[in-house]
Amino acid sequence: MFISILKSLVHDGSLGVIDAGGRLHKVGDGSAPSATIRLMSKAMEYRLAVNPALTVGEAYMNGALRIEEGTLYDFAAVIGRNASQARSLPWLALLNRARRHVRQSNPMSRARRNVAHHYDLSNEFYAMFLDRDMQYSCAYFHSPDDDLETAQANKKRHIMAKLLLDRRGLRVLDIGSGWGGMCLDIATHCDAEVTGVTLSTEQYRLSVERAAAAGVAERVGFHLEDYRDEAGPYDRIVSVGMFEHVGKRNYAEFFAKLRDLLTDDGVALIHTIGYSDHPAPINPFLRKYIFPGADLPSLSEIAAAVEWSGLIITDVEVLRLHYAETLRHWRERFVARRADVVRLYDERFYRMWEFYLVLCEIGFRMRTNVVFQIQLTKRLDALPIRRDYMVD
């Protein structure tokens, strides 16, 4: 059944499939990219046919699907290049329609557990593949030759420009402040009073240490709390890579809280992964193993929630291939540190994260994943009427 699905799906590129009986099946047109996989049991063949979006990742993670020729990225590239064909396959189309009605909720009681699952892995682990500033979100490439350090610095400058940090003493809130890099840069370069909120104990601990080491602890504070518990007002609010964890059922609540926290002449900037096409749930493998409680918005879902919040969308930028390049850098660094990851965790964990990084890169390079940067205010006159200040 699984091989039949692949034959109906894959027309561009080449895929070899060695079934549990040792027979080789060739799928595709013989062109690049190409890869060969081996299925280790007959039962796995049936499971892969029933729910491939979840089970392919599980099978690779557990060693039941192995790469015989090429790489995991090559295999994923073949599938990603042909994924749009799935709409014409009745069983896969039915699964996609069923998942489309899933609307994730993320109440406070669950939010901390969801964050801990992913972000409370050791800081040593994240340091293996992130840049020196520990930026775990889409970088901004001025040139294909930019290294990861440069591109992440570009991203922070790009966001700070959109926040219009044009006077001293502004009160700035960073919702989902990660390891504190954005907060430290804003405090250092813009002489602002910055507060970062996170639900990750590991991120909180390192953020506090970094602020003290940088000598800005009197101007940068971090709170280990849910953003819904924060009190304002703030002149500027930034949130990078956190909106993905809000949950579709909580979008209206998020923007209402943003409105309440923002001063009347304040500016907010939301940086989030999303879909360039219709609303849909997050990939089931990512939701189950990597980001429980996460969901990705389409632009229409964000706009609908903002319209009723009392906020005004003043600027939207769509970053397309920037995250694909960011993920390529992470993946290459991660693979190079395989032995260290296995030492810290185990081989199954390594394969789970390798699959996650590859899946996401393919999503941004070949599918419909993009990054939205959405600027918001409460008043039409809160910003200059021309956007030149964002680049000047």
Set 138, 183, 190, 360: catalytic member = 360
For residue 310, is it left (φ>0), alpha (ψ between -120 and 50) or beta?
left
Tokens 């909580």 sit on residue: 250
For Cα atoms 235, 380, 188, give the angle at the middle one, nearest 5 degrees: 25
Rounded to the nearest 5 degrees, what angle is found at the Cα of 271, between the Cα atoms of 266 and 273? 155
- Tell me the β-bridge partners of 115: none
Contact 129, 334 (CB under 8 A): yes
Cis peptide leading into 33, omega within 30 of 0? yes
Phi, psi of 217 (to 5 degrees): -60, -25
Query: Are the beta carbons of 272 and 371 closer than 8 angstroms?
Result: yes
Q: Distance between CA atoms of 12 and 82, rounded to whole angstroms?
A: 7
DSSP symbols for 3-52: HHHHHHH--SSEEEEE-TTS-EEEEE-SPSSEEEEEE--HHHHHHHHH-H
Q: Residue 241: which of 150, 315, 179 has the closest Cα?
A: 179
Instruction: Specify the DSSP class assigned to residue 243.
Output: G
Query: Alpha-carbon torsion 6, 7, 12, 18, what sign?
Result: positive
Active site residue 138: no
CB-CB contact of 350 with 338 (8 Å): yes
CB distance 151 to 139 below 8 Å:
yes
Active site residues: 360
